Structure 1
Amino acid sequence: MTSILTNVAAMSALQTLRTIGHDMETTQAHVSSGMRVGEAKDNAAYWSIATTMRSDNKALSAVQDALGLGAAKVDTAYAGMNAAIDVVKEIKAKVTAATEQGVDKAKVQEEIKQLQEQLTSIASGASFNGQNWLVFDSVAAAAATPPETADKTIVSGFIRSADGTVKVNTTTYTLQDLPDAAATPAAISNVLFSAIDDTDFTQSTGGILGSDADALGATITGTGMAGKFVVNMDITDFNDEDMADALSVVEAAFQMMTKAASQLGSISMRIGLQEDFANRLTDAIDKGIGRLVDADMNEESTRLKALQTQQQLGIQSLSIANSSAEGILSLFR
């Protein structure tokens, strides 16, 4: 039946053309954005997963920044400790040379004094962003309001658990200004000084270079080194017994500094490994998100070309359907 009121063929062609137009809009959106899941309506599950993982990646980016800051602190402390070790080596060499009979100890002491001042200068300058890991006064820290902690924490990771909870991992490095012989195992001092006065660079008796000889593990038999330590000893009037004590104290301090430097080196190595892992993890998450929501541009471009062809055919089909009704006019001529 042919009707001039209801053109079924035109209606069918128009519906097809509408469907093709909708598909073209979707495909063009994929091509322009590069994503096949750009909104929740495209695929709610994939969009939710991708959004969560993008959030985690931002957190990982912040962790990477924090790792860089932590690495800078550790590297600064390690550089200071390493420089101090080199100075203590020189002091050890000077003390050893001064044990030779006939050597003018007063002249050697002048050199040692300059090295001692260099030690305080190194410790004072080894600061990054206001934090100095080579100088820590536990007594002053405990009396502060609020009390300062001896634990220095560095952000080392970001974790999302299976239950959806998230947490930030940290690595802790504890500053200790005095060796604790009662601890098991014995705690090792890992700061050069317990305090340094900013005005005249004087120091208290805490820390590796300021601990008393017994705390350093040196056996003192003479009187010249009693109550003395690496940074304030004066060998000008030392006898042979005192010189042996001085060398013993310097060597004990050197061994403790080496242990402290190895601790800092271990933390630096871990931070480096964590930075590498964070970079790899970020890349892996990006790839995973891409597999879920990225559009295959080869496929989309092929689909767009096919839809453009279908649209042209649909327009022609609609034109034919509309023109078929014109044939009825010939019946009334």
Structure 2
Amino acid sequence: MSSILTNNSAMVALQTLKSVNANLQETQSQISTGKSVASAKDNSAVWAISKVMESDVKGFKGIQESLSLGESTVAVARNASETVTDLLTEIKGKIVAAQEENVDRAKIQTDIDALTDQIKSVVGAAQFNGLNLVSGTEDVNVLSSLDRSGSGNVAASNITVQRQDLSSIAGTYGTTAVTGGDLTALGSLNGSASATSGAQAGLSAQIQITEGTTTGFAANDTFSLTVGGSTITVTLDGTEDATGVATLLQGEINARDIPGITATAGANAGELVISNTNAFAEVDIEVAATLGDTSGSAGANIEELNGSTGLTQTTGTIAQRAETIDFSAAANVSEGDGFEVTVAGTAFRYIAGQGETMEDVARGLKTAIDSNPPDGVTTQVQQNETTGAYSLAIDYDNASTTTIALSASTGGEASGGLFGLDNLDVTTNAGADSALDNVETLIQNSIDAAAAFGSAQGRIETQSDFVGKLIDSLKSGIGTLVDADMEEASARLQALQVQQQLATQSLSIANQAPQNILALFR
């Protein structure tokens, strides 16, 4: 049936043409914009994802700038630490030269003072855009990442760079005292917070020579004694009694001139007292006898060692002359914890910094005491080979007595990592000796600082490289979601153009169909 009111063929042709034109317009848009999803109406889900990723890319570009700034700041601090290490090494060379007594120590001290001033100049100038990582103790955070969770929450991640204080400030002692068991848990002198020391003649061991109950000593009987690494052996002629043996051993020991070791006769028959006057060295001791007659209790034993009675043994150790503050191997040290040692009425303080240990505390207190030691006071840091705990040994070589006391506090301001640098003094023998030990601590602190900054700089560089690659990956992913396939779009364009022409022609033919009805009315 034909109708002049309804042209179904034309309507179909028109709809086809509209569809072809819409597809053609979409393809032309893809070619002109380069995107298959250029707006939310093209594909709202994909468009939303792409916009979130684009915002992340923008954020990571900002992170790259933050990492570049952080890397430059850490690089300045690392270079400063390395320079300080080199300057401290030069100072060490000067201190070594000052160990000789026939050198001009005053001129050497002038060189050390100049190098000290140069170190302070380096530390003060080691800033980048106003941030100095070798001064102070507060951590510095470098923005390193934006972490997006599955729920869409975004959190910033940071690389924490610890400041390495290379100043020489003394710090501020806290006002909150540590007392009682809390104090002795940190460190103690003979189990308490204080000890009396003085007239340091040395500690001793008492050797007891005993004769058999049946006969005396016989010819060719031998006694040997090892002390301070030297072994003394005496052979008897058969006329000696216990006191005579002790006298022979006494003479041999004193004739050897063993450093810090002296022998004297005891109060009782057959007693020999061996004293150790070495300030910071224990002395091992061993006795033995080879006898023809071993009846009864004949022989030799260490009856008294370091003040402990009732011992019956043939080996032992004479303790060092110094008093020791034994610090706990298990106690934690927090920034601002202050430690004070009082020697000969003078208080010496060190305030711990961030991440420090009891070893740092012991070395800091040693540096403080060595900076202005009372007359006759020398110090040494020691470590227990069994427990790993550190001790501060203090020798008071003075005829008077003094109380050595330890106290502690919290809430202070940390001493600088180069604490004691200003007090290196080689103008005296004692000063040159202590300076040689203390400069090693300063060098190790600067080396540790340079190593810490080097590690942080390496991490920042690695993160910066990763962020750069991450940005490229995100861009590629976004492109995969929204970019148009230009080869496909080109082929579709040509096909749609042909379809458009055919649809137009088809519509034209369909529109001519009603005209054929006119022929029926002619």
Q: Same fold (TM over 0.5)?
A: yes
Alpha-carbon distance in structure 2 between the residues aligned to 1:77 and 1:309: 69
CA shift, 1:159, in A, is: 0.5
Alpha-carbon distance in structure 2 between the residues aligned to 1:275 and 1:321: 66
Q: Could you tell me whether the CA contact under 8 Å between 1:116 and 1:232 is conserved in 2?
A: no
Q: Could you tell me whether the CA contact under 8 Å between 1:159 and 1:167 is conserved in 2?
A: yes
Q: Which runs of 5+ in 2 are unaligned?
A: 172-185, 187-326, 337-349, 354-359, 379-418
CA shift, 1:22, in A, is: 0.5
CA shift, 1:21, in A, is: 0.5
Residue 421 of structure 2 aligns to a residue whose secondary structure is coil
Alpha-carbon distance in structure 2 between the residues aligned to 1:91 and 1:38: 68
Match of 1:316 in 2: 505
TM-score, normalisation: structure 2: 0.52
Alpha-carbon distance in structure 1 between the residues aligned to 2:43 and 2:507: 33
Alpha-carbon distance in structure 2 between the residues aligned to 1:109 and 1:3: 120
Q: Could you tell me whether the CA contact under 8 Å between 2:80 and 2:123 is conserved in 1?
A: yes
Match of 2:106 in 1: 106
Alpha-carbon distance in structure 1 between the residues aligned to 2:128 and 2:94: 32
CA shift, 1:175, in A, is: 3.7
Are 1:229 and 2:420 matched, yes or no? yes
Residue 147 of structure 2 aligns to a residue whose secondary structure is strand
Residue 231 of structure 1 aligns to a residue whose secondary structure is helix
Alpha-carbon distance in structure 1 between the residues aligned to 2:331 and 2:81: 25
Bigger Cα Rg: 2
Aligned match for 2:470, one of 259, 273, 281: 281
Residues 202-281 of structure 1 mapped to structure 2, 5 A cutoff: 214-215=363-364, 220=370, 223=373, 229-235=420-426, 237-239=427-429, 241-281=430-470
In proportion to residue count, which structure has more helix?
A: 1
Alpha-carbon distance in structure 1 between the residues aligned to 2:18 and 2:94: 94
What do residues 110-129 of structure 1 show as CA deviations (whole Å, max 9, x unaligned)?
32222111111101100112
Match of 2:119 in 1: 119
Larger CA deviation: 217-226 vs 165-174: 217-226
Percent identity for Structure 1 against Structure 2: 40
Q: Could you tell me whether the CA contact under 8 Å between 1:216 and 1:253 is conserved in 2?
A: no
CA shift, 1:188, in A, is: 9.5
Alpha-carbon distance in structure 2 between the residues aligned to 1:221 and 1:86: 22
Residues 175-214 of structure 1 mapped to structure 2, 5 A cutoff: 175=163, 177=165, 184=331, 214=363
Distance 1:292 1:82, change over 3 A: same
Q: Which runs of 5+ in 1 are unaligned?
A: 139-149, 190-204
In proportion to residue count, which structure has more strand?
A: 2
Q: Could you tell me whether the CA contact under 8 Å between 2:333 and 2:352 is conserved in 1?
A: no
Alpha-carbon distance in structure 1 between the residues aligned to 2:161 and 2:335: 13
Match of 1:193 in 2: none
Residues 1-333 of structure 1 mapped to structure 2, 5 A cutoff: 1-136=1-136, 150-175=138-163, 177=165, 184=331, 214-215=363-364, 220=370, 223=373, 229-235=420-426, 237-239=427-429, 241-331=430-520
Alpha-carbon distance in structure 1 between the residues aligned to 2:128 and 2:351: 22
Alpha-carbon distance in structure 2 between the residues aligned to 1:242 and 1:7: 116
Letter of the aligned partner of 1:313 in structure 2?
Answer: L
Letter of the aligned partner of 1:86 in structure 2?
Answer: D
Q: Could you tell me whether the CA contact under 8 Å between 1:176 and 1:188 is conserved in 2?
A: no
Q: Could you tell me whether the CA contact under 8 Å between 1:35 and 1:294 is conserved in 2?
A: yes
CA shift, 1:231, in A, is: 3.5
Q: Could you tell me whether the CA contact under 8 Å between 2:371 and 2:420 is conserved in 1?
A: no
What do residues 229-281 of structure 1 show as CA deviations (whole Å, max 9, x unaligned)?
2234343x222x32121111111100111112111111111111211221222
Aligned residues: 301
Q: Could you tell me whether the CA contact under 8 Å between 2:425 and 2:435 is conserved in 1?
A: no
What do residues 170-191 of structure 1 show as CA deviations (whole Å, max 9, x unaligned)?
22234465799889566799xx
